[in-house]
Each structure stands twice: as C-alpha cells, then as structure tokens.
C-alpha cells in the first residue's frame, strides 16, 4: 500500500530515477516478486541508469526511502530480509493446525534418485527469485551473503556425506558474480567442502554468471577494483571488466536453474513420490473431518 508520512519534492534528475524504480517495481510485481533495495539498485545498474558504486547505491537507497515516506512507492514493494521478527507459530484451533499440516506435508522428493542437489548463491538479493524454485524442486537453498562460513560448510558437508552413503552423486549448483572475489568464492566453496568431505567428490558447478552468459546477454560491465588482492589473476583472463549475476533478468535466471536441476532429476521417480503425497494428504483430510465431527459432539 502507498502511504505518505512526509513531504518530499524530488528534483528533475531524482524524479527520472524514481520513474525507473517504479517501472522496475511494476515489472517484478507481475511476477509476484518483492525486491530489496540492493536488488533494485542492481537492476538500475544493469539498465545503465546508475553506476555500480557505493555512492550511487546510497543515493538509490535514499530515493527509494524518500519515495516510500512520501507515498510514491508502495511500502509492500520493498522487502528487508535481514530484520525479520520471530514468534512461535500459533493456530486458530486444532482444525486449523491440521489444515496447515496438510498444506505443509511432503515426502522426500529425491528418494531413490541418482543425484543429491543443493543450490548456493553469494547474494541475498536473489533469494526471492530462487526460493520458489528450490521450494518447487524441494532442494536446499544456501544464501552465503558473500563468502560462506565455516558453520555453513560444515553443516553442508554432513548432508552431502549422508547422500554419499545413500550412493548418490552430490551436485552443488552455484550462482555468483563474475568478478575477482565472486569467482574466488567458487574455489573457496570447493576446497573447504572437500576438506570436510575428505575428498569424497562433491561436484561444484557454477551455473551463473559465466563469461559466455555475459557475452550472450550483452550485460553491462563494471570496472574491476585494481586494489582487490584477487584482481591480478582475474584481469589476465578477463581484462578490466566484471559483471553482476543480478544483471540477468529473473526469467532467464529461473530458466538456467530449472534446466540445471532437471538434468539431475528422474521425473518418473518424482511422480511416484507426488502420488504418495496426495494419497497421504487425503488420509489426513479424512482424519481432520473425523476430528471435527468428534469435537462437535
């Protein structure tokens, strides 16, 4: 909802940027995707509206914030994925609980499959685009927020080792930027995971952003920071330009991920699990009805 709490009179340049922001929000709204400020900023960068610098990021943030306070931008269009309030779940009675249990009910949709797959990304800004897919395919989504942590890698290694014991081949699909640190994060994940898994192979596959994708989609470049200690080797291979994975349009990103996951999934096996899930849900529904009738008596 658009709600105004303050006055704000943007100048011509700011108004132009505000219009760009509003059209991006409208575009994402049709796909039911909420944006973070960071994500909106990257979209502006990829459309060559602003430069990819800390300064312009901050400027975009104030335009968004001012826009929201002044009632120009819908408060619900922007999401803060860091400051989330927690509270234990509650229900409107036992029937309500059973209903949500039916909704939540799932079996292991990767049972009997040849592969075990997880999806990793360095950017929290991609969460709203990735979640629907990892939910649908019933796989773990790990958002590393830059470099991953020892905790995350240790926990992941336990899951992969368990899959190995189940005679599954382990696949880690990775999404990150094409910049000196971004490419290094793939190496980092690979070596640390192998250390924990005692070199039982986990295949780390970068599905985006690749140099090929940069060229194919003609993505706008950023300058590599020469002060980055990892810039040297990168520049020898790719020159002085780098690219953000967020610059890929959401539908292209989703297509890439869908293709990557489906490569490792046997559809017939999944169908069987889904049938079992539906059967179980029917049983649960019958149980819920009996429960409801009993409580009326």
Partner DNA sequence: CGGTCTGGGCTCACGGTTTG
Partner DNA sequence: CAAACCGTGAGCCCAGACCG
Q: Which residues bind DNA (CB under 7 A)?
A: 7-11, 13-14, 36-39, 55, 58-59, 61-63, 65-66, 78-83, 122-126, 145-151, 177, 179, 181-182, 184, 187-188, 192, 225, 227-230, 244
User: Alpha carbon 110 to chain centroid distance?
Assistant: 20
Closest C-alpha among 109, 163, 165 to residue 137: 109
Pair type for strands 241-242 and 222-223: antiparallel
CB of 58 to DNA, least distance (A): 5
CB of 101 to DNA, least distance (A): 32
- Residue number with CB closer to DNA (112 or 146): 146
- Residue number with CB closer to DNA (52 or 113): 52
> Residue 9 carries which DSSP code?
-
How many whole angstroms separate alpha carbon 157 and alpha carbon 115? 15
CB of 170 to DNA, least distance (A): 21
CB of 152 to DNA, least distance (A): 8
For 142, the 3-state DSSP assignment is strand
User: Alpha carbon 241 to chain centroid distance?
Assistant: 25
Closest C-alpha among 90, 94, 100, 105 to residue 292: 94
- Residue number with CB closer to DNA (91 or 223): 223
User: Alpha carbon 150 to chain centroid distance?
Assistant: 20
CB of 137 to DNA, least distance (A): 22
């Amino acid at each position: 909802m658009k709600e105004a709490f303050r006055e704000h009179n943007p100048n011509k340049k700011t108004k132009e940027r505000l219009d760009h922001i509003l059209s991006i929000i409208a575009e994402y709204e049709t796909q039911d995707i909420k944006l973070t400020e960071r994500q909106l900023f990257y979209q502006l960068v990829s459309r060559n509206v602003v430069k990819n610098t800390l300064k312009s990021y901050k400027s975009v943030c104030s335009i968004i914030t001012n826009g929201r306070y002044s009632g120009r931008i819908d408060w619900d269009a922007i999401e803060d994925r860091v400051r989330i309030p927690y509270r234990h779940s509650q229900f409107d009675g036992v029937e309500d609980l059973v209903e949500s249990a039916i909704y939540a009910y799932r079996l292991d949709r990767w049972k009997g499959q040849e592969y075990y797959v997880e999806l990793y990304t360095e950017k929290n800004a991609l969460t709203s685009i990735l979640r629907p897919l990892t939910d649908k395919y019933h796989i773990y989504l790990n958002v590393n927020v830059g470099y991953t942590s020892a905790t995350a890698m240790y926990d992941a290694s336990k899951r992969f080792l368990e899959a190995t014991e189940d005679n599954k081949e382990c696949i880690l699909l990775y999404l990150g930027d094409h910049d000196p640190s971004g490419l290094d994060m793939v190496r980092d994940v690979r070596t640390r995971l192998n250390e924990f898994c005692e070199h039982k192979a986990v295949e780390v596959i970068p599905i985006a952003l690749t140099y090929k994708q940069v060229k194919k989609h003609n993505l706008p470049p950023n300058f590599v920071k020469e002060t980055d200690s990892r810039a040297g080797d990168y520049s020898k291979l790719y020159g002085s330009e780098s690219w953000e994975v967020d610059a890929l349009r959401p539908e292209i990103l989703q297509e890439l991920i869908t293709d990557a996951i489906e490569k490792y999934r046997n559809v017939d096996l999944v169908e069987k699990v889904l049938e079992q899930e539906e059967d179980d849900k029917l049983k649960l529904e019958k149980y819920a009805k009996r429960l409801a009738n009993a409580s009326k008596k």
